[in-house]
């Protein structure tokens, strides 16, 4: 009688991961290829953009070492995608902030020139200062678009690599 009960026992291993809400579907679909079953996905109290996903899988799954290796490759590809996505906004922000700071410095100089009754110098500094406050918006948009055009083919390549990894992992599960 006890042998029949033990034959039906399945030991599970568990994994909790915190991901960006935008990547929830990718993780839910892809981790299934590595033998994981999604148990629960709940938003974090502190991070509005993050979600905690709880997975489980059979401890005695076939080809566990190879599946774990492929899962690490998957995680590395997702990290690469995330860093490339972040690089689009960060490089555009750096350019915009830099120009905005230069505009602020010029307007500060114009203010001090006005207080020192040097009106011609005030005008000379104020005009590029105001341009330095208006230009960052347009610089941010154009820099973001250029970076996006440069990075998008690499991101698409990483997604293709993820799909190949998941296909290999799925074939190992049988």
Query: Do both 55 and 67 map to the same domain?
Result: no
Q: What is the pTM of this model?
A: 0.78
Q: Express each pLDDT in 60-85 by its tens digit.
A: 888 888 989 999 999 999 999 999 99
How wide is the angle at C-alpha 164 spanned by C-alphas 159 and 168, nearest 5°? 145
Tokens representing 13?
A: 């291993």
81: exposed, middle or buried (Cβ count in 10 Å: 0-12, 13-18, 19+)? buried
Q: Among 40, 61, 82, which residue terminates a domain?
A: 61
Can you give the pLDDT at residue 2? 47
Lowest mean pLDDT among 10-14, 47-51, 73-77, 152-156: 47-51
Q: Express each pLDDT in 87-126 by its tens digit.
A: 999 999 999 999 999 999 999 999 999 999 999 999 999 9
Residue of 80, 96, 86, 98 lying closest to 147 (CA atoms): 86
Structural domain of 36: 1-61
CATH number, domain of 44, equals 3.30.70
Residue of 145, 141, 139, 143 lying closest to 101 (CA atoms): 139
Q: How many domains does the chain have?
A: 2
């Amino acid at each position: 009688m006890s042998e029949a009960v033990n034959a039906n026992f399945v030991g599970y291993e568990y994994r909790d991961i915190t991901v960006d809400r935008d990547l929830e579907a990718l993780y839910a679909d892809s981790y299934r290829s590595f033998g994981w079953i999604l148990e629960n996905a709940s938003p974090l109290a502190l991070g509005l953009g993050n979600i905690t996903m709880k997975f489980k899988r059979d401890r005695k799954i076939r080809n566990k070492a190879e599946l774990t290796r492929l899962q690490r490759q998957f995680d590395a590809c997702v990290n690469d995608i995330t860093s490339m996505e972040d690089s689009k906004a960060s490089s555009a922000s750096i350019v915009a902030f830099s120009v905005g700071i230069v505009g602020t410095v010029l307007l500060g100089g114009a203010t001090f020139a006005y207080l020192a009754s040097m009106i011609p110098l005030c005008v000379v500094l104020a005009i590029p200062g105001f341009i330095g406050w208006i230009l960052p918006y347009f610089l941010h948009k154009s820099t973001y678009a250029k970076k996006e055009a440069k990075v998008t083919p690499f991101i698409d390549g990483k997604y293709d690599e993820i799909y190949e990894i998941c296909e290999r992992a799925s074939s190992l599960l049988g």
